[in-house]
Amino acid sequence: MSFRNQINVSKLPDHVAIIMDGNGRWAKEQGKLRVFGHKNGVLAVRDTVEGAAELGIKNLTLYAFSTENWNRPKLEVTALMELLVSTINKETKTLMENNVRLNAIGNLEALPSRCYKELKEAMEKTAGNTRLTLTLALSYSSRWEITQASKKIAADVVAGNIKEEDITEALFSSYLSTHQLPDPELMIRTSGEHRISNYLLWQLAYAELYFTNKLWPDFRREDLFEAIFNYQQRERRFGLTSEQIS
Ligand code: FPP
């Protein structure tokens, strides 16, 4: 039976975060350049977004480019940025038709200006869409984000806008780039690596982690459904005992 039919749709995670990993290895397996893997990764993005929307997931966040990825060979970085621009260009119409809002987190100003412009336009165009919020983490790292938030809080304390005693977990969260999103309940990483790689460190505090050996270009909606079904079999205790939960 397909995993889709076994999912309890009344208990969906509100927010699923994904580390799309394995594009390079997928390409290498076929004797192709790494960029070929990224291009095929776009097909996996499309199918996963469609699957999430079809199921009724409200928030999907994809790690598309990390701060550390800037150190990759220049050719690969340029190709990835081109791919981003062309994908956003091509897919904005589909996002509108499917009522999907495009959002982005990370040091967006570090992106090439054409990429930043395309992204901003697509975000503005889709801002009113309500079915699913698709967030791309771009030029993103969690330590960068937490450092930025700390600086802003410090500046607000110095300016007298807030007092030291106002600093709570909720206030800290409100200074993060994810302030409009609930914390992810489920984080999926492909390609068999068991790491978080500087991704949403604060927000993933209580997330369930799901790892699959599938390389990202092979990932499809049925794999998303399998991960969600697996998540639904788990007991989330948030530090309590099993008896307290039941
Ligand atoms: C990780 O695989 C993947 C990336 C760094 C880029 C992800 C980008 C895409 C899927 C395409 C563009 C996405 C959007 C949202 C338009 P890797 O290169 O680290 O693979 P490896 O670990 O096998 O080397």
| pLDDT tens digits, one per residue of 158-203 | 999 999 999 999 999 999 999 999 999 999 999 999 999 999 999 9
Is residue 101 a part of any domain in this protein?
yes
pTM score, two decimals? 0.95
Ligand 1 geometric centre to CA of 197 (Å): 13
CATH code for the domain in which residue 36 is found: 3.40.1180.10
Best residue among 18, 20, 40 to mutate for probing ligand 1's pocket (most ligand atoms within 8 Å of CB) is 20
Average pLDDT over residues 73-97: 95
Is residue 178 a part of any domain in this protein?
no
Is residue 158 a part of any domain in this protein?
no
Is residue 49 a part of any domain in this protein?
yes
Domain enclosing residue 206, as ranges:
11-141+183-233
Annotation says 69 is catalytic: yes
* Structural domains in the chain (count): 1
Ligand 1 geometric centre to CA of 24 (Å): 7
Active-site residue (options: 40, 59, 69, 218): 69
| pLDDT for the residue numbered 1 | 78
Indicate whether residue 115 lines ligand 1 (CB < 6 A).
no
| pLDDT for the residue numbered 156 | 98
Indicate whether residue 24 lines ligand 1 (CB < 6 A).
yes
Annotation says 198 is catalytic: no
**Structure confidence at residue 236 as a pLDDT band (50, 70, 90):** confident
Is residue 69 a part of any domain in this protein?
yes
Contacts 24+ apart (CB under 8 A), 126-130: 126/92, 126/95, 126/96, 126/100, 126/101, 126/102, 127/101, 128/101, 129/95, 129/96, 129/99, 129/100, 129/101, 130/99, 130/101
Cα 181 vs. chain centroid, distance in angstroms?
11
Is residue 58 a part of any domain in this protein?
yes
Is residue 102 a part of any domain in this protein?
yes
Is residue 149 a part of any domain in this protein?
no
| pLDDT for the residue numbered 163 | 98
Average pLDDT over residues 37-64: 97
Best residue among 21, 35, 133 to mutate for probing ligand 1's pocket (most ligand atoms within 8 Å of CB) is 21
